Structure formats: C-alpha cells, structure tokens
Amino acid sequence: MTRVLVVDDEPQMLRALQINLEARRYTVATALDGDRALDEAAETPPDAVILDLGLPGLDGTEVIRALRIRSAVPVIVLSGRSGAADKVIALDAGADDYVTKPFSMNELLARLRAVLRRPASDEPIGGSAVIGDHTVDLAGCTVRPVPIRLTPTEWRILTVLVQHPGRLVTGRQLLLDVWGPGHERKTNYLRVYLAGLRRKLERDPAHPRHLLTEPGMGYRFEP
C-alpha cells in the first residue's frame, strides 16, 4: 500500500485530504506541524509527502530540507500564495511540485500519481561503502566485485550503519530503525545479524575491521 504523509495545520483540510486519499486506497499518515511531520517520516518513511507551507513553528521550506537529508521522497507543496517567488523558493528547497490553494482534489491526486510514478522514489539516498574486499552499493543493493546476497534485514542494518560512518549507533537506535517501535529490548537480533554481516563481508569475521562492536553501547561502521 502506498503511504502518503499529509502535513497541514488546519484539521479540516487534513481531514478532507485524508478522506479523499483513503478513498483512493492510499495509506495516510497526518501531522499538524513540521516537527511532528519529521518524527512521523523518520518513524515510518512515507512514499510521498503533501505539505502545507503555512505551518506554525518550523517553516515549510525547512521541513523540505530536513526531509531531503535522509530521503528522496517526493514532496508536493500546498500553498495559499500564488506568487512566483514563493514557488521558486519551495521548488529549489527540494519540493517536487507546487499546488496553489484553492485546488481541485482531482488535480492534486493526478500530481500525486505523477510524482509516485518516478523510479526509485521510495529508496533512501544511499552511498557505497568498502568492507573487506567488497564494495556495497546501498542504492542498488549490490555487492561488487563478487556478488554477495544479503537478506532484507541485513540490508536495512547495513544501511543504518553506513549512513553514519565512523559514528556510534546505539543498539536501541538500530532496533528502532530496522524493526520499529516495540523491539528495543531484543538485542539478540543484533548479535545474530551482525554476525551474519561480518561472515559475509569482513575478511576475518572473528576480528572485524569495519563492522565494530562498542561493548555496552552499540555498533559502529568504520570506513
């Protein structure tokens, strides 16, 4: 099911969008301001974001920039201002489309379909990392030069670690990112999967040089 995150400070507008989107079989998440929108997007990444620019607190363009740091999710901006300058600012901040209020629901839905049609819209911005003799490409989910198969969970863990190169990632954070809320205590998962990743990628799995354990803290990817 396609997830759409709708951000608007007016409950009426929020509700109207939610009803229309759910009628088209989209899964809808809502947020009333920018901070909660970023929390929600971090929790369960949406496939698209519909964002009202006129938010209290965090500015709409800042929300776009914050989203862009971690993902390439398409963003459609709603705004009451039709001036060209506003559109330029929002689009250059990273928005994918700009719709002026009042708008037709059909037009918004068509624009939503247009941005969702793009390839790789749900894939996180990934880089690549060198581990042992292997180069892993997060975007393409490939390992070169020797093809090695990783399971979906292994890819997710590796993605989180590689996106914070050299920095400690707590077990809690890892469990939250990969398994979601409610699994923060299952540290044995991490032991099992980190062992698997080392066995597949590290030159000497017993003495890892890139996928390191910080006892009592968490794990760290060392480039």
Partner DNA sequence: TCGAACCTTGACGGTTCCTTGACGCGGCGC
Partner DNA sequence: GCGCCGCGTCAAGGAACCGTCAAGGTTCGA
Q: Please report, as ranges, the residues that interact with a second copy according to CB under 8 A.
A: 1-2, 24-26, 72, 84-85, 87-88, 91-92, 94-98, 103-104, 106-107, 109-111, 113-114, 116-120, 122-123, 137, 139-142, 149, 151-152, 155, 160, 163-164, 166-168, 170, 172-173, 176-177, 180-182, 184-185, 214-217, 220
In angstroms, give the least distance from the CB of 34 to a second copy: 20
The structure tokens listed for 182 are 């409610």
CA distance 170 to 59: 30
| Residue 84 or 206 with smaller CB distance to DNA | 206
Whether the CB-CB separation of 149 and 141 falls below 8 Å is answered with no
Only one residue has tokens 């914050």, namely 66
Whether the CB-CB separation of 51 and 32 falls below 8 Å is answered with no
Q: In 3-state terms, what secondary structure has residue 132?
A: coil
The answer to the question of residue 23 lying near DNA (CB under 7 A) is no
CA distance 145 to 162: 19
CA distances from 185 to 7, 42, 136, 169, 189 (A): 32, 20, 29, 15, 9
Which entry of a second copy, DNA, none binds 25, CB below 5 to 8 A by partner kind? a second copy
Binding flags for DNA, 55-94, as an x/- string (CB under 7 A): ----------------------------------------
The answer to the question of residue 206 lying near DNA (CB under 7 A) is yes
Which entry of a second copy, DNA, none binds 187, CB below 5 to 8 A by partner kind? DNA
The answer to the question of residue 142 lying near DNA (CB under 7 A) is no
Query: Beta strands 211-214 and 218-221: pairing type?
Result: antiparallel
Contacting residue, 28, 154, 161, 210, with DNA by CB under 7 A: 154
Whether the CB-CB separation of 48 and 121 falls below 8 Å is answered with yes
Which entry of a second copy, DNA, none binds 192, CB below 5 to 8 A by partner kind? DNA
Rg (Cα) of the chain, in Å, rounded? 20
Which entry of a second copy, DNA, none binds 142, CB below 5 to 8 A by partner kind? a second copy
The answer to the question of residue 132 lying near DNA (CB under 7 A) is no
Whether the CB-CB separation of 129 and 147 falls below 8 Å is answered with no
Closest Cα partner for 121 from 156, 49, 73?
73
Sites of contact with DNA (CB under 7 A): 149, 151-154, 171, 179, 186-192, 194-195, 198-199, 205-206, 213, 215-218
